[in-house]
Amino acid sequence: MADKNGFFDLSKTTLSRRTALKGIAAGAGLALAPGFVRYSQAQSSAPIKIGFQSHRTGIGAAYGRWYEKTSAAAVKAINDAGGIGGRKVELVIEDDGTDPARGAEVVNKFAKQHKTDIVFGTLFSHVVIGSAPAAGENKIPYFVVSEGHHVASTKLNRYVFQPGITDVKSQIQSMAPWIAANAGKKVTQIFPDFAFGYDHRDYLPPALKAQGGDVIAQIAIPPTEASFTKYFPQIPAETEVIYHVMVGPAVLTFVKELGEFYGSQRPQLFGFIDSLEAVDINSPGLEFLDGSHFWEGSPRYAQPDDSAAQKAYRAAVGIDDNGAAVGDPKDVSTAAHMFGCWETLYVVKKAMEDAGYKGPEDRAKLVEATEALKEFGEGPEHPQGPKTFNGKIHQCFGIQNISKVEGGKLKVVHKTKIEDGLYEPEGDYTTQAL
């Protein structure tokens, strides 16, 4: 059930004596039938506990709230279909404050106090990087929905996975050809001054150079900045494209001030939707965005060619055709990222069932089963699109969407292919001891 802030408390479940007795009776009946012994045993065991590391407060709060809503919807869908290996799934939620040190404390709390089977959910890259050592030390699988290249770089540890959302290096590589061909070749980057922003800083220049383009300036801005006007004079006059990827509660201020600075005479704009996540694109002052382009993982607005799986997913998580909460048009979702929670939970389900997972003693088996996964077909479990998975670097690869602001909406104008974002692995987690 949601609290007044829209967050969910799934940390407790109740089971009446009558329900328990009915379950025991049903299990006894099934035990007499061939092929049902393992199922009945699983049904009688404790729920699978997933520690949800949530950004309920801090600069990631808007994402955290929608990550929780999406995860709650996925857990409901999984439980309604019989759970994982016949066992119900339970989310245990702790707020990490979008803070690395607190994130590590939360991981330790899940492992030692709550004794969850896995840890899941984290978005902001500095929190992932700060929390990953605790996952490795506790030998507890840590499934993140973060986007940064930190997992795929193989600089973390074998217990950290990112199987439900693509990483920045892959995203940039996929989109650089379109940017150079359609927006311009002289690019100025504006990015947040922390790990996620550094991925953009590091991977866009070589990707554009391969397409005959050039990054002529890079401007790093603290993600907690409240005003941005003082940074804009650093943009070179010869800039053809401003590539922006800001995050945090001041993103609306950022895009408004950018528009005020340039007026009607501006370079082309290519933004990661992070600069507009959870923000109504029709907010006063954003008119200047008309005609600009954004990257989207999963489109915010319903598209004419949406699959049945995409439509069902949107209904399950409670967003309307404009990507806002059903019944509240002002509550704009983080649609481009939150699908990763849904898809990651289904990856966890698949890996646990492949591993014959029974409890924390099988965590090493779960790691190996996840590493053995190869691909995920588009469908109800993976509504954003098909993906491949590289078990050596614990990273998935999928399609990307480039959308144009048109008529106050985002319209997808280009979809990349999986192969556009593939790159050579930088290491191999499977060589590390469990």
pLDDT at 45 (0 to 100):
77
pLDDT greater at residue 29 or residue 350: 350
CA atoms of 168 and 204, how far apart (whole Å): 9
Mean pLDDT of the chain: 91
User: What pLDDT, on a 0 to 100 scale, did the predictor assign at position 264?
Assistant: 81
Please provide the CATH number assigned to the domain covering 48-167+339-398. Answer: 3.40.50.2300
pLDDT bin (cut points 50, 70, 90) of residue 223 is: confident
Q: How far apart are CA 298 and CA 164, in angstroms?
A: 12
- As given in the structure block, the two tokens for residue 282 are 């029709």
Answer yes or no: same fold for 48-167+339-398 and 168-305+399-421. yes
Q: How high is the pLDDT of residue 248?
A: 84
pTM above 0.85, yes or no: yes
Kindly list the domain boundaries of the chain, sorted by start residue: 48-167+339-398, 168-305+399-421
Contacts 24+ apart (CB under 8 A), 362-370: 363/117, 363/118, 363/139, 363/140, 363/141, 364/139, 364/434, 366/118, 366/141, 367/141, 367/158, 367/159, 367/434, 368/434, 370/141, 370/161, 370/163, 370/394
Query: Is 80 exceeded by the pLDDT of residue 218?
Result: yes
Structure tokens at 260: 């005020």
* pLDDT bucket at 17, cuts 50 / 70 / 90: very low
Beta strands at 241-244 and 186-192: parallel, antiparallel or unpaired: parallel
Using alpha carbons only, give the angle 226, 287, 248 rounded to the nearest 5 degrees.
25
193-212: average pLDDT? 96
Q: What confidence score (pLDDT) does residue 33 get?
A: 35
- Report, in angstroms and rounded to the nearest whole number, the Rg of the chain calculated over CA atoms: 22
As a whole number, mean pLDDT of residues 272-289 equals: 93
Residue 249's pLDDT band (boundaries 50, 70, 90)?
confident
Q: Containing H/E element for 51?
A: strand 48-54
CATH assignment of 168-305+399-421?
Answer: 3.40.50.2300
Give the bridge partners for 426, in sequence order.
none
Query: What pLDDT shows up at residue 32?
Result: 34
Q: 429: Cβ–Cβ under 8 A, 6 or more apart, which residues?
A: 154, 157, 158, 371, 391, 392, 393, 394
- Give the residue among 260, 224, 262 at the shortest CA–CA distance from 241: 262
pLDDT tier for residue 227 given thresholds of 50, 70 and 90 = very high
pLDDT digits (tens, 9 = 90+) for 255-277: 999 999 998 889 999 999 999 99
Give how far Cα 366 sits from Cα of 117, 161, 340, 349, 377, Å: 10, 11, 19, 10, 21
Res 3: pLDDT: 52
* Max CA separation in the chain (angstroms): 78
pLDDT above 80 for 44: no
What are the residues whose beta carbons fall under 8 Å from the beta carbon of 182, sequence distance 6 or more? 293
User: Taking 90 as the threshold, does the pLDDT of residue 145 lie above it?
Assistant: yes
